[in-house]
Chains A and B, each alone.
Chain A
Amino acid sequence: MKNLILIIGMVGAFSMLTINVCAQDSETSNHSLDMGIPEVCLLDTDAGSISLELTTTEAGAQISGGTGTGYAQVSSIVSAAETRTIEATITGVPAGTSLEVDTAIPSNGNQGGILGSGTSSVALVNGAGAVTLVTTIGSCFTGTSATDGYVLSYTWDAGAVGDYGSIVATTGSTATVVLTITNTP
């Protein structure tokens, strides 16, 4: 009987010990989180139409003054040490005329990130190779409203002097600029 009491006592003490061990003052639980940022490379243009007109009101003067503005919107997320470039090709520029574009990086407050560097007076020539409009684009966004984005200011004029005679009146021909954003080689 005494042995049994002893055993019970030991069991009791052990139970107390166990409870002490289990008592917690603070405890943690870890939780793992996977966070992915895929590369993003999106380019769009605003739907607003660009309409340029080449004319003059002075007898003897050459036609000039075709200017207009378009916007190219970009979302870009690059991996480390990668940059992107926007290039342009064109079709549909009327004979005898020359179209140039200045590209300014967005600055209206709806943009963020590394927007790169613009260019000025880049000639857009039918059938020519792609020309570079914006370089060193990183992770950035330009905003999505109609006047957000890279500002493409087109200047349309008569072309080379020798080609003036090839100009013909047109009530509305359409030139199409194809913009492409690519990883900089």
Chain B
Amino acid sequence: MLLQLLILLHLLNNFIMKKSGLIFIMLVGSLLLTTNAWTQDWTAGDNVTLTVQDFCLIETNYAPVALTLITSTAGAAAASTSNSDLFVKISSIVPGGTNREITARISSGSVPTGTALTLVSAPCTTTNSGGILGTPVATPITLSAIDQDLVIGIATCYTGTGYNDGYQMTYTWGPDSPSTNYGLIESNTYNIIVVFTITAHDGN
């Protein structure tokens, strides 16, 4: 190996002096080969411990979600409006026998007075997913500042990474108890931020 290094240095000088680089490349290749051979030797006969750490990752497809409350019929209350553009993608590995949940809450802003914003998850898309993807909570949650479960029973799984992979989230926004609260509604534009959390597995 020392010899190879010396040759390498020599040729490097030559290369700098504008001589052929071909030999240089070959030499680097032989150096790598040598290293590989050595590595093989090193691992032979040793104990190999394979460790899979539990981890989770969560991401959305960044779909812009804009909802508008309006009516075009005189006498009618503003109708509920829905948006299902958002997909939540996760990767999860958990210790055996443990689960995670996806929860959601409002972290910034608040739902306009006189209205309610609900959220419900569809089961994970199947195209590019695998593993134990959990079960959506069937009843839409009314979003608030407190985390509420959207999907439960998530174990080791992945949802896929495409734009329309993952759990499709449906926001529904409408007047809240209009017979009593409709007068609280005020025309304006509101921006709120919803935080999706994939929780720690319940074995920890």
**A contact set with B: CB distance below 8 Å:** 1, 4-5, 8, 16, 19-20, 22-40, 42-44, 73-75, 77-80, 109, 111-114, 138-144, 148-149
Contact = CB atoms under 8 A, between A and B. Distances in A.
Nearest to A109: B179
Contacts of B178: 112-113, 141
Residue among A19, A29, A38, A40 with the most chain B CB within 10 A? Answer: A29
Interface in B38-91: 38-39, 42, 51, 53-60, 64-78, 86, 88
Given A35-B173, A139-B114, A143-B75, A30 B194 contact: yes
A157 to B, nearest CB: 30
Interface stretch (B16-24, B129-137, B185-193): B185-193
Q: How large is the interface on B (under 10, 10 to 19, 20 to 34, 35 or more residues)?
A: 35 or more
B88 A29 contact: yes
Given A42-B74, A75-B78, A140-B182, A25 B187 contact: no
A77 B192 CA distance: 21
Contact of A31 (B114, B117, B193): B193
A142 to B, nearest CB: 5
B195 interface: yes
A25 B200 CA distance: 4
Nearest to A139: B185
22 contacts: A23-B54, A26-B56, A27-B57, A28-B58, A30-B107, A31-B194, A33-B171, A33-B193, A34-B64, A35-B67, A35-B191, A37-B69, A37-B78, A44-B75, A75-B75, A77-B185, A77-B186, A78-B186, A109-B179, A138-B183, A144-B75, A149-B75
A19 B64 CA distance: 33
